[in-house]
């Protein structure tokens, strides 16, 4: 398979979904227009949209590299998983569990936190907050190598990746409250993700799942929504400058590394907790 064939076979699901995404943001904006506690903040919205546009541009620039890397991984393994329905199930589960661990480590080690802190920078939670994908998030691509090396066709894995990413859009809202118990037990819901974005003491580093909340239940990182979440960072970032929101943690890491006295301190700065 060539990169050209890959791009022909892969459907741009996120592009197809874009009109619905913008429609949902518009509906939520209208519903919350007169809600003093949950309404959209204009400057915060501009920052979210600016970060999202920058992320889309970077995605486009890196697309060829990511496609090439996934095809390379697929070609070097000597086995193949047939393109059956259960291959799609395995691919989606694989993508989702890799997302869980990438998300978990991004909260535990500072160098990975720098690729994710942008997403938590808003003190509001709404559908537009989902646009806050860090411009350096692609560094976490290494966490998905197990799926690319699984022998599952890259078109399947990339399609599942897009679906997993699309799922995360609707859980960034306060409009939807609790859902049926069975659904809340298996899938990530807005209630679960509100906890994840909360800086309340009980909510820190909880609910890392993207589609399935079962990973959090299995690995002990699950937390029910029991109190109103307070959103944002424990050390608030007041700037709405999209460049600052993407790179302030990287700047601080470089500053601290320069002050380090030895390699042990450097390792602590990079891989210690944020």
Name residues of the chain where pLDDT drops below 70. Answer: 1-8
Task: Report pLDDT for 1.
Answer: 62
The structure tokens listed for 13 are 């699901």
Task: Report pLDDT for 203.
Answer: 98
Task: Report pLDDT for 4.
Answer: 64
Task: Report pLDDT for 2.
Answer: 61
Task: Report pLDDT for 63.
Answer: 85
Total-model pTM: 0.93
The structure tokens listed for 185 are 């037990």
Task: Report pLDDT for 204.
Answer: 96
DSSP result, 63-116: HHHHHHHHHHHHHHSS----SSHHHHHHHHHHHHHHHHHHHHHHHHSHHHHTTT
Comparing CA positions, the residue from 78, 60, 186, 53 lying closest to residue 132 is 53
Number of structural domains, the chain?
1
Q: Give strand pairing partners of 212.
A: 187
The range of the structural domain enclosing residue 218 comes to 3-271
Task: Report pLDDT for 222.
Answer: 98
Task: Report pLDDT for 230.
Answer: 96
Task: Report pLDDT for 46.
Answer: 96
Task: Report pLDDT for 6.
Answer: 66
Task: Report pLDDT for 72.
Answer: 93
Task: Report pLDDT for 138.
Answer: 93
The answer to whether 233 touches 132, Cβ cutoff 8 Å, is no
Task: Report pLDDT for 186.
Answer: 98
Count, in order, helices (H) and strands (E) of the chain. Answer: 12, 0
Report pLDDT digits (tens) over 226-239: 999 999 999 989 89
Report pLDDT digits (tens) over 88-104: 999 999 999 999 999 99
């Amino acid at each position: 398979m060539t990169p050209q064939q890959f791009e022909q076979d892969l459907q741009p699901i996120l592009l197809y979904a874009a009109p619905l995404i913008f429609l949902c943001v518009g509906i939520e904006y209208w519903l919350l227009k007169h809600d003093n506690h949950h309404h959209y903040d204009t400057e915060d919205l501009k920052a979210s949209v600016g970060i999202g546009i920058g992320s889309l541009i970077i995605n486009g620039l890196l697309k060829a590299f990511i496609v090439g890397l996934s095809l390379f991984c697929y070609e070097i393994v000597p086995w193949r998983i047939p393109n059956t329905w259960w291959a799609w199930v395995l691919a989606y589960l694989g993508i989702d569990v890799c997302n869980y661990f990438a998300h978990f480590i991004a909260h535990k080690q500072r160098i990975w936190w720098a690729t994710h802190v942008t997403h938590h920078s808003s003190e509001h939670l709404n559908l537009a907050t989902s646009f806050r994908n860090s411009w350096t998030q692609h560094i976490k691509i290494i966490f998905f190598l197990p799926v690319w090396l699984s022998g599952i066709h890259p078109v399947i894995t990339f399609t599942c990746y897009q679906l997993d990413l699309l799922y995360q859009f609707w859980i960034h809202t306060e409009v939807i409250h609790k859902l049926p118990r069975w659904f809340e037990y298996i899938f990530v819901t807005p209630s679960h993700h509100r906890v994840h974005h909360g800086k309340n003491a009980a909510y820190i580093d909880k609910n890392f799942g993207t589609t399935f909340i079962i990973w959090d239940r299995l690995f002990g990182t699950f937390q029910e929504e029991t109190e109103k979440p307070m959103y944002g960072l424990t050390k608030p970032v007041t700037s709405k400058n999209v460049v600052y929101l993407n790179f302030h943690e990287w700047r601080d890491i470089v500053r601290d590394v320069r002050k380090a006295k030895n390699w042990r301190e450097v390792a602590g700065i990079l891989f210690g907790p944020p």
